[in-house]
Amino acid sequence: MYKAKTLLAIGAALALLAGTAAADTAKTPFSPTNRVTLKVLADVVPHAELLEFVKPTLAAQGIDLVITVSDVDRDGNEEVDNGEFDANYLEHEPYLNSVKAEKGYDLVNAGNIHVEPIGFYSAKYKTKAQIPAKATIEVPNNGTNEYRALRILEQNGFITLKKDLKAGEATVSDVAKYLKPIKIVELDAGVLVRDLPDFDGGVINTNRVLEAGLDANTALFREGKDSPYANIIVTKTARKNDPVIQALVKALTTPEVKKFILEKYKGAVIPAF
């Protein structure tokens, strides 16, 4: 009788362990012996560099990270929406929302990773006070980045924008008043660094500056640490809580990654976690 009870107890314990293991497998469908592939489309700097930094961490968990670097004309949202990539890492949420409204993509922000403060650069002047009257200033012509560029020109006393602008949307036509006699030229974000010597200055995204090998800390002025434009991991809405996607976000938001960002980019890139 005692032996029978003991065997029943052992059997129950084994069943419980088996059930727990099954539950764990369902919750985390990857391991060093049960590997999965995670395909992510990313900008070169700092996005792909940060992904490379966490690649060994994910590999140890059983996730093989495949990083594809995006080109200038590829925002990555269509490719994630159609399943070509599991996620992208190259945009902020206001831009994602504007694309979703236009294209109807079923995408979501899975996590904030870092901020790249947009800044004003010049190949001719070292301080804001040196910028002359009738200066020509280049700004990115794409959606939210033009809004950001015009906002920091407003914050630094060059222009006044129309009131009640829709957040994240503005063009030169939305300038209500020029406080200084400048000319603003809208250009593709990919050519701003290249064309900077032809202008008195330009408002340029930090990743473009870093990609060109320039020192982002040479900006005459730029957004503060409170910028709402954190770069994010974008995935399909149905995959927001996918353990593989969450493992990626978790790997990118550790104290080790924060230290890497602060030491490597020296303030040009700011952790958003």
Contact residues for 80 (Cβ-Cβ < 8 A; gap 6+): 41, 86, 87, 88, 105, 107, 234, 235, 236
Could you tell me if 152 and 221 are in contact, meaning their C-beta atoms sit under 8 angstroms apart? Answer: yes
CA distance 254 to 50: 12
Higher pLDDT, 21 or 262: 262
Buried b / exposed e along 110-142 (16+ C-beta atoms within 10 A): bbbbbbbbbbbbbeebeeeeebeeebebbbbbb
The domain defined by 119-222 folds into D-Maltodextrin-Binding Protein; domain 2 (3.40.190)
Position 107, amino acid? L
What confidence score (pLDDT) does residue 27 get?
66
pLDDT digits (tens, 9 = 90+) for 140-180: 998 788 999 999 999 999 999 999 887 678 999 999 999 99
Structure tokens belonging to residue 144: 């939210």
Q: Which whole number is the average pLDDT over 57-61?
A: 98
Segment 109-149, tens digit of pLDDT: 999 999 988 999 999 999 999 999 999 999 999 878 899 99
pLDDT at position 165 is 86
> 31-116+229-271 has which CATH code?
3.40.190.10
259 token code pair? 């230290």
What pLDDT was estimated at residue 73? 61
pLDDT at residue 149 in the model: 95
The pTM of the full predicted model, rounded to 2 decimals, is 0.76
Answer yes or no: same fold for 31-116+229-271 and 119-222: yes
Domain ranges of the chain: 31-116+229-271, 119-222
pLDDT digits (tens, 9 = 90+) for 187-196: 999 899 999 9
Q: Look at 136-140, 208-212, 224-228 and tell me which has the smallest mean pLDDT.
A: 224-228
Q: Please, what is the average pLDDT of the chain? A: 89
pLDDT digits (tens, 9 = 90+) for 66-125: 999 997 667 799 999 999 999 999 999 988 998 999 999 999 999 999 998 899 999 999
